[in-house]
């Protein structure tokens, strides 16, 4: 009863939405053109480097793809990918001081015996602060998309928490695919959630096509994760051997002289070198006025003004710093740098050094409580065999990009 009530009543009727990647409230009606983004106001978060969020008890475990989410009152949640976790669970940790110190909060576990939960991604839907019929305060809902994996299948699923990350319940299954393999298979993997208006879209890598090694697809709900629409292609290469994957999406708000918001989709576009029979993994992106219509947008390779091409799984976010267009910020899996663009994804990109280490599937996020900063979360490096941990760095973005 609680799942249905909170799904329909608590979310559909009352929740103001925060979109993943920029966490701004979404209007419920058609807005006027957005004003110029205001300059962020610092609130006193100090920059720091490489704070330990989590370290596996078993030093052989490799932890990758950390994902964080902003909650109210300087609170941050974190989850990550740990394939060797013995119970098949996703650990969730919490910080109440903007990421400087961390402690274990809860775990999510599959209700199907033998399945482990991998590749988590978090999304926060802000609550009303009101009391429901059961006398409980609606603080909001945290969603977690995962890949529920066993020896025979992969399953993109969504779990929900109504106590800000402490306990988790299965909410819905989006799609199922074949088992994970190192070569071409029929798996689905790497889910990413985005909320826009009253819709949630999940983007994921889809290897089920018989004509393509992989493609990126998206599915959208109209009732907050209860049921999902049909899969729609977001990225399909003209070359059958290409492997687009690891999608991330950010909303890029419009400035005063631009009428519409835009959305940027970034992904690894793995390309087969016919001479060496190996793959290279440059980062590509698409820009669309609709988060449900990336399939018609052009694919573009990211290349900096000095000729550097980011490589490996990317993550993209948007900062209000840097002028009327703000700044698109991207990280890859092969360098310690970030890559920025001040023209809403158009034109050239620039490389900016950081004090954070490089890591596979590293994340970048702007904290809610200080828009002049940038949060970077990383785990193991690509192919790293030494003991790994989840580390978090708070970077002074304003200083780094000179604004």
Q: Report residue 399: phi and psi, to 5°.
A: -70, -40
Contacts for 194 with CB less than 8 Å, ≥ 6 apart: 19, 20, 21, 123, 200, 201, 202, 203, 249, 251, 263, 291
Q: Report residue 149: phi and psi, to 5°.
A: -120, 135
The full set of domains in the chain, from first to last, is 2-23+45-401 (2.120.10.10)
Burial class for 344, CB neighbours closer than 10 Å (0-12, 13-18, 19+): buried
Render the burial of 245-268: b for 16+ CB within 10 Å, e for the rest: bbbbbbbbbbbeebeebbbbbbbb
At 1 the pLDDT is 40
| Alpha carbon 50 to its chain's center | 20
> Does this model's pTM top 0.75?
yes
CA distance 29 to 9: 19
Our CA angle for 44, 45, 49, nearest 5°, is 150
In tens digits, the chain (403 residues) has pLDDT values of 444 343 433 333 333 333 344 444 443 334 444 444 455 555 568 999 999 999 998 888 999 999 999 999 999 999 999 999 999 999 999 999 999 999 999 999 999 999 999 999 999 998 877 777 777 778 899 999 999 999 999 999 999 999 999 999 999 999 999 999 866 789 999 999 999 988 999 999 999 998 899 999 999 998 776 789 999 999 999 999 999 999 999 999 976 555 578 999 999 999 988 888 889 999 999 999 999 999 999 999 999 999 999 999 999 999 999 988 999 999 999 999 999 999 999 999 999 999 999 999 999 999 998 999 999 999 999 877 676 899 999 999 999 999 8
The label of the residue with tokens 């999940």 reads 202
CA distance 139 to 169: 16
CA distance 71 to 80: 17
């Amino acid at each position: 009863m609680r799942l249905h009530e909170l799904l329909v009543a608590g979310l559909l009727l009352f929740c103001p939405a925060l979109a993943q990647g920029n966490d701004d409230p979404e209007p419920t009606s058609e807005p006027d053109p957005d004003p110029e983004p205001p300059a962020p106001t610092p609130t006193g978060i100090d920059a720091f480097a490489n704070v330990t969020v989590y370290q596996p008890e078993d030093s052989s475990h490799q932890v990758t793809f950390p994902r964080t989410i902003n909650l109210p009152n300087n609170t941050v949640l974190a989850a990550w990918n740990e394939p060797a976790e013995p119970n098949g669970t996703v650990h969730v940790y919490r910080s109440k001081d903007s990421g400087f110190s961390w402690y274990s909060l809860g775990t999510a576990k599959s209700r199907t015996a033998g399945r482990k939960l991998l590749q988590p991604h978090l999304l926060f839907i802000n609550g009303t602060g009101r009391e429901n019929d059961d006398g409980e305060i609606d603080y909001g809902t945290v969603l977690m998309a995962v890949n529920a994996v066993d020896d025979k299948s992969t399953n993109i699923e969504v779990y929900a928490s109504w106590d800000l990350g402490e306990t988790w319940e299965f909410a819905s299954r989006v799609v199922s695919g074949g088992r994970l393999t190192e070569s071409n298979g029929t798996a689905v993997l790497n889910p990413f959630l985005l909320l826009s208006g009253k819709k949630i879209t999940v983007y994921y890598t889809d290897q089920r096509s018989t004509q393509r090694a992989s493609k990126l697809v998206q599915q959208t709900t109209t009732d907050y994760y209860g049921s999902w629409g049909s899969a729609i292609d977001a990225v399909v290469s003209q070359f059958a051997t290409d492997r687009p994957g690891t999608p991330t999406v950010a909303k890029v708000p419009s400035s005063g002289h631009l009428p519409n918001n835009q959305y940027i989709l970034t992904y690894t576009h793995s390309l087969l070198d016919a001479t060496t029979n190996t793959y290279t993994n440059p980062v590509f992106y698409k820009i669309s006025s609709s988060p449900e219509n990336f399939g018609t947008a052009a694919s573009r390779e990211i290349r900096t003004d000095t000729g550097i091409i980011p490589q490996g799984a990317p993550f993209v976010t948007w900062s209000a710093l840097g002028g009327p267009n703000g700044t698109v910020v991207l990280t890859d899996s092969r360098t310690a740098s970030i890559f920025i663009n001040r023209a809403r994804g158009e034109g050239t990109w620039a490389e900016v050094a950081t004090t954070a280490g490089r890591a596979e599937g590293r994340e970048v996020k702007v904290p809610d409580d200080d828009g002049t900063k940038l949060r970077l979360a990383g785990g193991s490096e690509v192919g790293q065999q030494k003991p790994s941990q989840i580390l978090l760095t708070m970077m002074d973005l304003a200083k780094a990009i000179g604004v």
